[in-house]
Amino acid sequence: MKFIFSHTRRLLKLLGFSIISLILLFFLLNWIFPLPDQIEYSTIITDNKGDVIHAFLTRDQQWRMKTELNEISPLLRKTIIAKEDKYFYYHPGVNPFSLGKAFLRNIFYGRRLSGASTITMQVARAMEPKRRTYWNKLVEIFRSIQLERKFSKDEILQLYLNLVPYGGNIEGVKSASLLYFKKGPDHLSLAEITALAIIPNRPSSLVIGKNNDKIVEERNKWLKKFSHEKLFTEKEIQDALSESLTASRGTVPNFVPHLAYKLKKQGGDIIKTNIELNTQMKIEKLVADHSKELRLKNIHNAAVMVIDNTTHKIIAYIGSSDFRDTIDAGQVNGAAAIRQPGSTLKPLLYGLCIDKGLLTPKRVITDVEVNYQGYAPENYDKKFNGYVTMEYALEHSLNIPAVKSLHALGKDNLIQKLSTCNFKQIRKDQIKLGLSMILGGCGTTLEEMTGLYSVFANEGNYIQPAYLQFEHPGIPKRIISPAATFMINEILSKINRPDFPLNWGSTVHMPRIAWKTGTSYGRRDAWSIGYNRHYTVGVWVGNFSATGVPELSGANVATPLLFKIFNTIDYDADEEWFRQPEDCGLRIVCSETGLPPGDYCNNRVTDYFIPMVSSAKKCDNMQEIMVSADEKISYCKTCMPENGYKKKIYKIISPEMQRYFEENGIAYQKIPVHNPACEKVFKEGAPLVISPSNGNEYLINKNKPEPLQLRCNTGNDVAKVYWYINNKFYKAADANSRQFFIPDEGPIKISCTDDKGRNRDIWIKVRYVNL
């Protein structure tokens, strides 16, 4: 008795010792051989509904898509567990009973080890495929225990469903259901699930599309077994048994290729976009048809992006008209490419100028020749328009008023706002950029431009447009005031304007939109970006090869596509337009300056303005001047005679406008010459030398020296000027005339004195070179 007792105790001790040793051994091995659970999945791109719209092969050329937990339907789970591993939720990774049974069977029948694999063990095998030996079976058991320790049962089932082979290069139930049944795993029927479930047993002889009869036969055997086990209702089984199998292997969807490649770089197994596939496909068709027409004009590429203005989501994205087109570099993503923006930054500029109080829609700007340190911008048609309002300048996309406005605003103010709107290249080039940036002398992308224009649809706030679902919408950033935004929207939504596309029919059925076109230097890029309350649509048309084409202009090749897109996605939408915000007022202004009328202003119009912001300076365009009875001489307060004079109203015309009138043969009322006997020395109003440009260096061709031009702007009352080169008298000339001289090498002082004795000096440097 005592012997037996001590024997049992010793046995128990031994058993306890063995168990502790085994546990310690497990932890040691677990530490040395961690679970190789870094699985590479196919990157999949989904649309706003969660459907796969694009997918990429893994590096080992497999379709191995990750099934999400919510895609594992109760039906799928139940069927797989019933077929593969009934006790899945109860065993610790290995099922000792069936393992023991299989072991004995193997010994008695001398067969190779088979069966008895739990779902967990199958996961272990799929992670590290190995030959079937006793040793490898032990490794598999070890791995299974590791898996159970690390993951929940549902996660293990998910891993199983992700890794199970379905023949060819198809792995996982998601890839299989997509390729064979063109739907997600959560939409599979009992018959489909059962058919898929038997394939992993014999993937090479049970191929969907080739051996469907055999698969149905095998499927029905399992369905009957399920019926026997009362897993499903008799109706469910009968429906499944009678379901035919017509599936065959299809292809993986490959929509939105440019966006798919762009987002893949950011990583992730499942990239959930906001793309509305239906809208995307409609626009793709429009872009393809439009590109076909343009090909005849030697224009080969186009890109489009659409933002939903209420959700700030990017719902359509087209990088080129045809991704598969290898001749015209269809793989290039035109929406992300850096291109010159032409005139498309002008609306933002004018909006900023309104907020600075510099401009309102009716403010008058002079569109005449200017020169900023040697930079002399020209208009598109090489003509000058004299007096223009800001709204006219924007509608007609005039260049000189834009450059002048940017000069007045300061380019850093514009750059800072563009940086806030995520303009990357502009932020990078900040220091290099000059006034020409407002005419397109900078680098932008369609993505950036479309995001910028959504500001106008959002009361002047920038909210970064979202590619991805659940992306944090970002804090709205104030770019321009609601009032300035409203004024720009009113101007850009006018139909009657020069950049309305030729040959475009009626606008009756078109939704109301605001839009702006742009054409880059050398006619390489055509832009048209439009918006209303619902959408912001950006269109770029051009050649990836950067070839310029004479027919290329924003109005004629980009705007028609923009209109077609709005007609398609926003047809018959409600006509609700942007409302005038509270910070935007109306006032009467003088139509000749756009300022509140002065005492002598006769022509008045109404204009929008921002109280306390817009300039409240009274118009002094018309002034009372004292002149002699014969109106030949004008007087100032110091030189007016005691009698024999009269008062007359004159329009004050700036020197640059006088020049413009003279050069264009336009008659204007001149203020009589100032009293020659006037003693007052004019401190102000010395001539402004506009050529050559003060401080510049001029290179002169040694072999063929070209003369430099002498030009100046003078006061209203100046008739003659006197030019001096290095303090030596050179020439007397009419105030508005152009004179020429060939300079010597070195630093040169140029002086210009007017007939009132007012003088201006400038300095330039001249270098003779072989050009």
Nearer to Zn ion, 478 or 670 (CB): 670
Tokens describing residue 68:
């999400």
* Binding of residue 633 to Zn ion (CB under 5 A): no
Measured CA to CA in angstroms, residue 403 lies from 249, 462, 489 at distances of 61, 24, 21
Q: Which of 601, 671, 712, 748 contacts Zn ion by CB under 5 A?
A: 601
- The stretch among 114-122, 380-388, 608-616, 618-626 that binds Zn ion (CB under 5 A) is 618-626
CA pair distance 9, 82, nearest whole angstrom: 43
Q: For the CB of residue 722, give the shortest distance to Zn ion in the complex, in Å.
A: 21
Among 375, 365, 401, 437, residue whose Cα is nearest residue 691: 375
CA pair distance 498, 94, nearest whole angstrom: 78
How many residues of this chain interact with Zn ion, rule: CB under 5 A? Answer: 10
What are the φ and ψ backbone dihedral angles of 325, each rounded to 5 degrees?
A: -75, 105
SS3 label, residue 698: strand
Nearer to Zn ion, 42 or 621 (CB): 621
Is beta strand 514-519 parallel, antiparallel or unpaired with respect to 525-531?
antiparallel
> With contact defined as beta carbons under 8 Å apart, do 555 and 500 qualify?
yes
- The stretch among 55-63, 403-411, 521-529, 595-603 that binds Zn ion (CB under 5 A) is 595-603
Q: For the CB of residue 292, give the shortest distance to Zn ion in the complex, in Å.
A: 54
Measured CA to CA in angstroms, residue 656 lies from 2, 63, 277, 372, 711 at distances of 125, 71, 56, 14, 11
Please name the residues in contact with 3: beta carbons below 8 A apart, sequence gap of 6 or more: none
Nearer to Zn ion, 138 or 629 (CB): 629
Q: For the CB of residue 604, give the shortest distance to Zn ion in the complex, in Å.
A: 9
SS3 label, residue 278: helix
CA pair distance 24, 43, nearest whole angstrom: 39
Nearer to Zn ion, 274 or 389 (CB): 389
* Binding of residue 621 to Zn ion (CB under 5 A): yes
Nearer to Zn ion, 364 or 552 (CB): 364
Q: For the CB of residue 756, give the shortest distance to Zn ion in the complex, in Å.
A: 10
Beta strands (DSSP E) in 284-383 are: 301-308, 313-318, 364-367
CA pair distance 171, 314, nearest whole angstrom: 32
* Binding of residue 14 to Zn ion (CB under 5 A): no
Instruction: Give the other-Cβ count within 10 Å of 526's Cβ.
Output: 28
* Binding of residue 35 to Zn ion (CB under 5 A): no
Q: For the CB of residue 605, give the shortest distance to Zn ion in the complex, in Å.
A: 11
* Binding of residue 141 to Zn ion (CB under 5 A): no
Nearer to Zn ion, 320 or 621 (CB): 621
* Binding of residue 688 to Zn ion (CB under 5 A): no
Tokens describing residue 315:
């719902």
Beta strands (DSSP E) in 673-719 are: 673-674, 688-691, 697-701, 708-713
- The stretch among 89-97, 392-400, 552-560, 634-642 that binds Zn ion (CB under 5 A) is 634-642
Nearer to Zn ion, 212 or 675 (CB): 675
* Binding of residue 619 to Zn ion (CB under 5 A): yes
- The stretch among 123-131, 301-309, 543-551, 672-680 that binds Zn ion (CB under 5 A) is 672-680
* Binding of residue 671 to Zn ion (CB under 5 A): no
> With contact defined as beta carbons under 8 Å apart, do 148 and 92 qualify?
yes
Q: Which of 12, 20, 22, 636 contacts Zn ion by CB under 5 A?
A: 636
CA pair distance 531, 287, nearest whole angstrom: 18
* Binding of residue 627 to Zn ion (CB under 5 A): no
* Binding of residue 156 to Zn ion (CB under 5 A): no
Q: Which of 590, 657, 721, 750 contacts Zn ion by CB under 5 A?
A: 590
Tokens describing residue 129:
């495929």
Nearer to Zn ion, 534 or 674 (CB): 674
Nearer to Zn ion, 421 or 619 (CB): 619
Is beta strand 477-478 parallel, antiparallel or unpaired with respect to 514-519?
unpaired
Q: For the CB of residue 594, give the shortest distance to Zn ion in the complex, in Å.
A: 9
- Residue pointed to by tokens 């910070």: 583
Nearer to Zn ion, 584 or 590 (CB): 590
Q: For the CB of residue 592, give the shortest distance to Zn ion in the complex, in Å.
A: 5
Q: For the CB of residue 619, give the shortest distance to Zn ion in the complex, in Å.
A: 3
- The stretch among 346-354, 426-434, 435-443, 667-675 that binds Zn ion (CB under 5 A) is 667-675
Q: Using CB under 5 A as the criterion, which residues of the chain lie in contact with Zn ion when the complex forms?
A: 590, 592-593, 601, 619, 621, 636, 639, 675, 678
